[in-house]
Amino acid sequence: MLVKATENGRQSVRTLRPEEYTVGWLCALPASELPAAIHSLDEHHDDPELKLPDTNTYSYGSINKHNVVIACMPPSSPGKVSASGLIPTMRLNFPNIKIYLFVGIGGGVPNKFFDPDPENDIHLGDVVVGWPDKVGAPAVVQYDLGRNREDGFEITSYLDGPEPSLQSALGKLLANRVVGRTRFDDWLQQTVEQNPRFAHPGVAEDKLFKATYFHGQAPDCSSCPTSEYADRPKRVDTKLIFHQGTIASGDSVMKNASERDRISALCGGARCFEMEAAGVMNQVRPLIIRGISDYADGHKNGKWHNYAAAAAASFAKEFLYTISPVIVGGLQPIKQSDNGRRDTRSSQENHFTGTFSTNGGKMMIGGTYNSGGGSMSF
């Protein structure tokens, strides 16, 4: 069915069969993350007829010739339990999805040590990708699932890095950024032109307080003294910066800077906190992409939610412009029985029992790492 082009140049040109969708884009917040995702589509599709009843909210379209189905969680139901409910019927209604992206907002973990380059530290509006920046580190850690032992808390649930095809695309994207060939800011500008509420709030609104300063009960930070600002170099522009690293996922909102730093260290230096990834990470092994809307401390407000959602969506769009539709088309679909893996891959289920800590910038691991048929003790 042909439909006229929209005013912003995007087109709704056809209705596809559910079997034709190969990219699953997951999001949690219908007021910010879902519209940011919809604005990122190059082309909009009409709703197909689904075979099974489904409570997910779906939107359809394409990006760089990838057919994308966007699935959003129910309103006012954040957390891993609701996130886990996205997948079962989605996989049955869209049986040929080859890759999943979980795109949304999260709380950033700023560096504890001074760095003269402000681009190396996490700021509001940046993007964190669940892509380990240390050898052997996990992509996602469910930090509140484990066992209490005499020598500390054992984390027992994690997701290793993206599979090889996604890692290759991420490596190319990283190289493109170094040589100035990424289009993050172009995608962001397109979103803002469609909907100005996704605009950058301004660098003056990026306020990081010392971890030792508690916000209290005030409704905003207008009464928080500037003397409690953290001492670090300021950003001077609004270009999108992304960071690779471990993402910490848990059942509750992180609103304590000291606890943020403690758990981040336990996870080997997690760069971001969020609440949904743990619900899907053992089902479909998604690439987790998070725009930073706060610093996982008590100084939370909604000023950065929309921009952070748009920043994460812009990264996801650039990723889909980096990975070829031919590559994605050649992958095997993720089936219900795969536990997030593909039968044709050599990747295997990995389990870590032990503790992560950092010492002098290096990740130290104590425990046992079981990989396939063998294990290694650290």
Instruction: Report how far residue 146's alpha carbon sits from residue 135's, in angstroms, rounded to the nearest whole number.
Output: 22
DSSP string, 75-128: TT--SHHHHHTTHHHHHHHSTT--EEEEEEEEEE---SS--S-TTTS--TT-EE
Cα 256 to Cα 140, 190, 208, 225, 362: the distances in Å are 20, 35, 13, 18, 24
Residue 164 lies in a domain: no
Distance CA 275, CA 296 (A): 12
pLDDT tens, 160-169?
878 889 999 9
Distance CA 121, CA 182 (A): 20
Q: Supply the pLDDT for residue 347.
A: 35
- Which pTM was predicted? 0.86
Residue 82 lies in a domain: yes
Chain-centroid distance of CA 214 in Å reads: 27
Residue 374 falls inside a structural domain: no
In a domain, 360, yes or no: no
Within a domain: residue 251? Answer: no
How does DSSP assign 260-316, residue by residue?
HHHHHHHTTS--EEESSGGGTTTTT-PEEEEEEEE-SSS---STTHHHHHHHHHHHH
Has residue 297 been placed in a domain? yes
Domains contained in the chain, number: 1
For the chain, count helices (H), then strands (E). 8, 18
Per-residue pLDDT band for 148 (boundaries 50, 70, 90) equals confident
* Lowest model confidence (mean pLDDT) among 96-105, 306-315, 330-339: 330-339
**Which residue has tokens 């294990």?**
375
Tens of pLDDT, residue by residue over 168-194, are 999 999 999 999 999 999 999 999 999
Parallel/antiparallel/unpaired status of strands 23-27 and 66-72: parallel
Residue 275: CATH number of its domain: 3.40.50
Could you tell me the residue range of the domain that residue 103 belongs to? 11-134+170-246+271-346
What percent of the chain is predicted at pLDDT more than 90?
64
Does 357 reside within a domain?
A: no
| pLDDT per position as a tens digit, 200-241 | 999 999 999 888 887 776 777 776 767 778 899 999 999 999
- For residue 229, tell me if it sits in a domain: yes
